[in-house]
Structure 1
């Protein structure tokens, strides 16, 4: 079978003549497991059979090449659009399904495909075709395998942006966390109306000076594992600032969000207790926030870690309560100090009698369990008055203060307490 050298020559010649057509890059899903289980010799036999399956689905003008061990590329410069590429992919997928059935399912695998519409490519060079087709194939596998994905520049540029951002995030960690910054949003005591604490929220300033929202970079931190060193930095920074504020507001506490990836991959108990000892702060001043969705991912692990933190006097807040993951069993298992009602739930409760009654019932249940409750998302005085009738313990929302850098937080909520 023709390989990459022949493919490169064919593209170099044909791209000067043809301006349309398609490239279909195929990859066998989880094929490495076959080699590991049955050996390379058996794997090579299967690949040879698969090449025959693919060849049997092609027309005369469609060229087949093997580019890496379990990947193939089909090129058709005469096709007028990608519908034919999709049809070819489906034919090949069915042929492979029949092959797996013919060997009595001795081995099981599927095929993914990445499709390029050559008429849309700006530069139809061999280098670009290989780069884009590799991306398209990887995208189809990431989307769930056994399917195809059609390349488009919008997705690819987003991929490049994330790749560049990942490099910046990694570089910042190595550069003493330059670019990472904690912002703070006040927590208000409902009875006194005074600021009694804050939630520490991570932000990242890119090299061009823009502040990136957490929904863009935090998933990258979690996927790459960078959330472990960054999470440790957050713990130290938040506790350090809490200690500074306590010189003015002795009862001040700080809420620190913890990713379930931190729970799984880091020594969270050690990180928290080390920072507490370093800054000589009362452990009850530290509240660890964990989302219910995270608990579902790491339930047993989290129970063990929380028990250890609780023994050391650290508080727990169950965050995003009411977002759809709610499991009242967590309240009895974890015995958290604080339940935080998600701002989306708050918004619905303020505009819908059914949800308002539901929130009232939840509050009564939490109160009867001896737990405290914080209502997030309070944005107006009217909303505050309506929620206040429930007698929650804490408010959090734009009406009391927006998320801001530490210096601004101190200026707005701490200095005037001296």
Structure 2
């Protein structure tokens, strides 16, 4: 609006100026015309006066000196009258047209007087001059009045134009001021937006902390300063433990509230000169310039962990959180900011893996981290390429010794490292999001082999361990149903073994997933029972079919009274809940006998058989059946 108003005002002012200029030009031209016609009439009057004066001189004395002026003045005004008759305005044309005949008559009379033909006509010529003089003088006076009236009217018009110009100028000045205010307002708005954009570009939207970009910039400056002034700095990477469980169980809104609380606690735990940044998700970084030593950096890390350990109350819920901190030092570990960040990250993962809380980087951690990254990539390729295979460990009824199924155990035949043990690659799968595809791979392979045995006349139920992450996805029962349908087997031949920790991480969702599996007809087993926290409370709400006693209690039950008491109590608990008790880790006949006497239903272990390749299971089953008979 200010721009439009200023434009209109400037156009109006320019139009008024142009109008004034045109008006002034028109007035000047008209006045020039009036002046020229007045000048013409004045010259006519002058010529008549000269002729009249010469006539009087001739009347007084007729000499050559008096004759010559009269001769020169005769007809001198006719040209001016003729111009006025042709070029003058209406009044000029009318007067000139009326006076020309009289002037011509007077001219003829003067010629006769000059020729001396009739001296008496001189008086007649004088009378004609008087008449001409009066009319011309009257015309000149009228012209002057017209000029005066015209100039007065032009002056009034110009006064109006000047007033309009003053008004337009004042209005334009106001609009210029308004336009300037608008421009200044927009400039301030643009500067505020630029500052906001600058802040948003370098700060995390959720927590208000510095982001990765600002951290990289500050770290580059701090590394340069540390190198020049020999002032060591430390970079800490802080990662929350079990944050995903908070997000999955309580929702992302509560997770966001928790991240804000963590950001505040990190800011409180460090100095004003330190920089706290959020790298993404639940991972934070703390830049400590001038930290002095690794011990000082570890003290700050411990202070951060102490701050994080304080309970957090969010929307009426009290949560306990913990974290892992990795520490890297400059220039000890690196003089490059990006490399320092990578080293701190490696140290953080080492702290998380070892559950030590804080870890300071050294080269051995780097090598271990690199090997773990390589193992993750190789395991993913192994799953995709089918490099994994299964061994099967038989299970038998404790009272009769009859084989009642097998447990599928994954093995990895690495192209260069040879056979990789499960305790080496299973944790890698669990920590790096590969446990779900690995579980589906094992279930598929086990059911395929079960189909082969069934076609050969052996109905062998198979048990498969299920990764904890699978119980957090409600689509898992559908995936299992698809695999059972694909291989054309009854669901009762498949037993899925789940751990207590998998249930505890998100009980509601785990119960929902387990309910879906039970509705398929799949058998469920709680693996490693007794090593968790609160499985007994879930036995009432879940339709579990068997309870698997952990080998740590079974192996020494014949020599350790405590383990024996635990085994008897767990077997009794299973019977009270109507569950089948399965004992793993049976290594000798005495243990088997003790389990059978305690009422255990199924035994499994090296005393019965070690895990066998699939092609050896049928032969083993035949031999076992013959021996049992």
Whether the TM-score (by the shorter chain) exceeds 0.5 is: yes
8 Å Cα contact 1:22/1:82 also seen in 2:
no
8 Å Cα contact 1:186/1:197 also seen in 2:
yes
Pick closer, same or farther for the CA change 1:364–1:24 going to 2, 3 Å. closer
Q: Does 1:72 align with 2:272?
A: no
1:186 to 373, 394, 401: 394
Pick closer, same or farther for the CA change 1:148–1:304 going to 2, 3 Å. closer
Report the equivalent of 1:288.
Answer: 496
Report the equivalent of 1:208.
Answer: 416
Aligned-pair CA distance for 1:396: 0.2
Report the equivalent of 2:176.
Answer: none
Report the equivalent of 1:82.
Answer: 294
Aligned-pair CA distance for 1:261: 0.4
**TM-score, normalized by length of structure 1?**
0.72
Q: Does 1:152 align with 2:152?
A: no
Q: Does 1:321 align with 2:542?
A: no
Aligned-pair CA distance for 1:326: 5.1
What is the alpha-carbon distance in structure 2 between the residues aligned to residue 91 and residue 258 of structure 1?
A: 36
Q: Secondary structure at the match of 2:273?
A: helix
**TM-score, normalized by length of structure 2?**
0.50
What is the alpha-carbon distance in structure 1 between the residues aligned to residue 372 and residue 324 of structure 2?
A: 27
Greater RCO, 1 or 2 (C-alpha within 8 Å, sep 6+)? 1
What is the alpha-carbon distance in structure 1 between the residues aligned to residue 303 and residue 577 of structure 2?
A: 60
Q: Which moved more, 1:356-365 or 1:183-192?
A: 356-365
The structure with the greater share of residues assigned to helix is 2
What is the alpha-carbon distance in structure 1 between the residues aligned to residue 239 and residue 401 of structure 2?
A: 59
Which of these two proteins has the greater Rg computed from alpha carbons?
A: 2
8 Å Cα contact 2:502/2:510 also seen in 1:
no
1:163 to 373, 377, 381: 373
* Matched residues, number: 371
Q: Secondary structure at the match of 1:402?
A: coil
8 Å Cα contact 1:25/1:71 also seen in 2:
yes
Give CA deviations for 1:138-164 in whole Å, capped at 9, x if unaligned: 76689899x853212333322222111
Please list, as runs of the form range in 1=range in 2, the aligned pairs for 1:216-231 lying within 5 A after superposition: 216-231=424-439
Please list, as runs of the form range in 1=range in 2, the aligned pairs for 1:18-29 lying within 5 A after superposition: 22-26=232-236
Report the equivalent of 1:114.
Answer: 327
What is the alpha-carbon distance in structure 2 between the residues aligned to residue 72 and residue 135 of structure 1?
A: 16
Q: Does 1:53 align with 2:272?
A: yes
Aligned-pair CA distance for 1:275: 1.8
Q: Does 1:385 align with 2:593?
A: yes
Pick closer, same or farther for the CA change 1:85–1:315 going to 2, 3 Å. closer
Pick closer, same or farther for the CA change 1:348–1:8 going to 2, 3 Å. same
Report the equivalent of 2:203.
Answer: none
Gap regions ≥5 residues in structure 2: 1-213, 241-252, 258-262, 309-322
Aligned-pair CA distance for 1:311: 2.5
CA-based RMSD: 4.3
8 Å Cα contact 1:253/1:285 also seen in 2:
yes
Give CA deviations for 1:344-399 in whole Å, capped at 9, x if unaligned: 11124222224323422432342344322111110012222222222422110011
Pick closer, same or farther for the CA change 1:11–1:326 going to 2, 3 Å. closer
Pick closer, same or farther for the CA change 1:10–1:273 going to 2, 3 Å. same
